[in-house]
A and B are shown apart, each in its own frame.
Chain A
Amino acid sequence: MSSIDEIAGRVSAARDDAVARGETFYPGPSRVHLAAFPPKERWDDWVELESKDWPRRTERRYTLVPTTCFNCESACGLLAYVDQDTLQVRKFEGNPEHPGSRGRNCAKGPATINQVTDPDRILQPLKRTGARGEGRWQPVSWDEALDDIAGRIRRAIEEDRRDEIMYHVGRPGEDGFTERVLASWGVDGHNSHTNVCSSGARAGYHFWTGIDRPSPDHANADVILLVSSHLEAGHYFNPHAQRVMEAKQRGAKLLVFDTRLSNTATHADVWVSPYPGSEPAILLAVASHLLRTGRHDREFMRRWWNWQEYLAAEHPDLPQDFETFERVLTELYAAYTFEFAAMESGVEPDVIARVAELVASAGTRLSSHTWRSAAAGNLGGWQVSRTLFLLNAMLGAVATPGGTYPNAWNKYVPRPIHVPPHPAVWNELTWPLEYPLALNELSFLLPHFLKEGRGKLDVYFTRVYNPVWTNPDGLSWMEVLTDESLVGLHVALTPTWSETAFFADYVLPMGLGPERHDLHSYEQYDGQWIGFRQPVLRVARERHGQRIEDTRQVNPGEVWEENEFWIELSWRIDPDGSLGIRRYHESKARPGTKLSVDEYYGWIFENSVPGLPEAAAAEGLTPLEYMRRYGAYEISSGVGPVFEQAVPADALADIAEDRFGRVYTGAPAPPPLNLVPMASPEPDAHGRRPVGVRVDGTVRRGFPTPSGKLEFYSGTLAAWGWAEQAVPGYIRSHIHPDTLEPDQLVLISTFRLPTQIHTRGGNAKWLDELAHTNPLWLHPADAASIGVDTGDLVRVETEIGGFVVKAWVTEGIRPGVVACSHHMGRWKLAGTSGQRQAMATVDLERRDGAWRMRRLAGVAPYRSTDRDTTRIWWTDVGVHQNLTFPVHPDPVSGQHCWHQAVRVRRAAPDESYGDITVDTAKAHQVYRQWLERTRPATDHSPDATRRPYWLMRPLKPARQHFGLPEQGVTSAD
């Protein structure tokens, strides 16, 4: 051995030893590792200079504790710097051990410290004392609140009024905990925000793959095609943006479809600004180009599309072979020429041709993505994701390096300690008969359902969710929330004041990211990881030898965390176990006693996360200790094309096969450790479960669709009354030019500000300082015709009212379209408390049947425990436009179609900034009009069920409760 190899061996052995000890061998910044993080072996005692003492060099000692950001859904890792002298968090930085965010954060992550120290945050349980919305509160003990709420829930369960219990969640930030709580209560009361957010996009992906989210491998793509700026500039901003930029740095092309010049579009190689809703026309033109030029992956399509099913259903008289299918497909999309797409979209044909060529050049390295944006803006928006994924399916860029994966293969939801059964009840307030194919609850129609007398709520939880402000038609929400005959008890679980919490009976302070436990996993690359959110002060104190039994011991004020809250509430609902609820919240180690969060997560980490116990043992830790120390664990990377995996022989017993190759087995399925949500195709007539699909003689795992293949042709859509939409197609939007009056424009209202995050960002002073207004984007041509310039006030009139906002004249938007950002326009009623950095004070009155809101004051400096509040220099907080939008439920996906046809004019002299008018009677009329577009299960169900059983549903009732109700009966029971 040469001396050089002796030295090399020495270095290598030293690194191995360091890694085995859980230490960092190369701490500090380096171009070799791009690392500049505190080495993990020094997280117990990290020294930094006190910045406020500069120029004196005062050393401060910190305990560094990982947790997860609770702002958007990315779940980026944070590292809390807990001051050892004060045992308070001083700052948050990125967690280098987190596989998704890799030590990086957007502005929202470090701003968590603002939320923790927000002088206006809610620190104790409050109970309403006056009328709902009057703003009078008194402190109440947790015991009193829990007993009251639990008593009502128990009575509702005992009296079989389970549908009167509802939990309404914004972004959950966890994977399935609360669904299981509701299941343990036997309640079908889960209500998510998803139909105002992503259900349109989800539906399109789901009809293709049986999985409702994509996982684009941006980092390895040659071409990145985004029909949105949403996730890359908002939701999965940090994990996605860093990977998009990596791809760009090595030469990948970025194509962005966005009517507005978004942050993402500014980085694009090709920015396409289509007329809103025309995106599928462009995508189909690209698809047609691929077919015409023979650039599609014939072999992938032949093996993995359900083309046989399509030919059998739609062209039974033609030869049933792939060549015929290719010919039919080419003819099917022949009308989608570049010229047609240009006519629909207003984008030049040569630009569309360039996009088509770039897509064709990507081969299997096309990563594509859409979320909200066009899919959430338009009638038929679900066809945006369906036509986008069509391109991946044509190129074979499915679960390939640089392609797009179904998210279920890049996500891991470990089996928990208890799994309650599916509830034996169907809640029609969330899953009405008119929307049998909706992927998520018709959450935003709740006020109209209640007004129509479809039901009522006895206990309604809003959990870190603000429908009065976030949803369309917020004043209809306010009307039902103030009607105690419709909503008996409203419990707002929230860390901060919101427009919805004002109308609660109890406001219960919930923990922020560093004050609560949650477990989650999100698709951000081709790998599976879990992230652990944890109360960092609890962990820091435990590291210093203290024993913490209840997170309220360490959280500010009486702020609690949700897991302990739900366990405690469940025990109080069923104190003696007679309802069968308590057993799902009991310790396994000590039967009959309450389950602790340590046991809950310890059991999961010990039993349901492959590799974690071994990784922990290698460092002399228990799995729970490992997760408390590092905050994340990567289970696998390079998962690859799961659908291609051959089904093992022992899973193929007593098999049956249909004529298209779907294979069913009588062999029982082993209980899965990974409970990631995906569709559940139905068994065959003899009860055999679908196990795979035969492809060229081999039974492969395939996709969780009825056919086991990628469903170009959705037999489900065809069977449930939507045969004309069974293949990827183009639905003209409700704001298509043909539907507009000559003086109308289109308003885009869905886009995000990268430094805000709905209600959750409003209690962060740094974020408020960065972004606190939402002017109306207006093209110079439109501004000229209206006669306004930047800064002038304009009134935007919708179907049910209008709002007054400032104009921003920009070429960053196409003519005929205006745009106004969500996230802004927070308000509080005069005389009520609220979040003073982000909320304007308003007067709200009802006159002649219409609501009128006027802004009394913007924000202003004020004295508080935080001296920075005296330095607030801005007064503007934007305008709450969502109040003026009626509901537009898509008849297939159930997604609210956000785009609005509006008229914009110069504001009249008596109109002021922030003025809002709304007619909720008109809003109800619009709801009724959109309801007429539906094709209800009662008229179109092919099998007397309410909904295709195989479709995903966040909380799924038992199979026998899918039956259509008998006439005049509104519940399956």
Chain B
Amino acid sequence: MKIHEYQAKALMSEFGIPIPQGAVATSAAEVKKIAAELGGRVAIKAQVYAGGRGKAGGIKVAGSPEEAETLAAQMLGTRLVTHQTATEGVPVSKVLVEKAVSVQQELYLSIVVATANRMSVMMASEAGGMDIEEVARTSPEKILLEYIDRATGFQAFQGRKLAYGMNLSQNLIRPAANLMANLYRLFQAKDCSLAEINPLVVTTDGEIMALDAKLNFDDNALFRHSDIEQLHDVEQEDPLEVKANELGVKNYIKMDGNIGCLVNGAGLAMAVMDLITLAGGRPANFLDIGTVNNTDRVVAAFKVFTTDPSVKAILVNIFGGIARVDVIAQGIVEAHHQMDIPQPLVIRLAGTNVDEGKSILAESGIKFIEATNFLDAASKAVAAAKGERN
């Protein structure tokens, strides 16, 4: 799960990481007021779930409260399109207003879990302020890594190694090492999947602070962080994905095709998408129905399909394991009782309790196209989406 920069900065500040003075605003009038209180030059930063804001016009500097008001008015209520967003962009409903900082040096700092080593790792670089993947490609020697032992946590010596490694001056070594230790405390305490400060800056006054802040959280750990979960801004997500999520369909991703897919298992769902593409069609979504023990989630999936105007055919491909085919079949029947499903429906069932599932469908009398295997299912769905009879 993502959160906004201003929220990430508030959390960092709570954990003792210095951040610029500032406040969040939803109107240009508020921006003017905050800018006047801060005094001098201010930065106005669009709060969106996407990187690349600077180049896309989502970060502006104003010399006066009036200018801040004008710039904010141009930004608020628009949609920002960056290289990381879809073509329609993401809405800008909030801006962060911060006292402009005079920067002497830009650094990079982040923590992620290194899957190969199965440990958390702190990454630091003196090449801050730019795309870190670009730095990794062009000058990998400028990226320093410190793996963090789960039992000991991040130690002071590791902070010193990274701080000296970034060629910081002697008076900054201890503040930088402390900041790193605090970032690890935050990462661990809040179950982050990414904690990134880019850039981490040294100001001309010789202070070190987080000029930008990005925190992503492990969705699987949100059950123990209700404070974090409520920070989520659904306005930043695809509306169909939000609806799916509200209905309890968690693993749903909207795509640009016209075949609605209901599959159990992420790998099989991806394989079905691949197969549809090979058969000359395009999937309308990725959907892993997961472990189904009741029919609600199946009904919910059909609600999403019938809401999505791009869906011209529905493909159900279930290979029962932990999910039981009879429960899925019952869900399909219930969906037909609860709503009108105008799209042709192709169903392929196999695995745990398949015979029970097939007889439930047969006895229900609902109309569907039966497929015998999953290649057959994909080709029949592609034909159905094109309006061909099977």
Partners in one complex: no
- List the interface of chain A (C-beta within 8 A of B): none
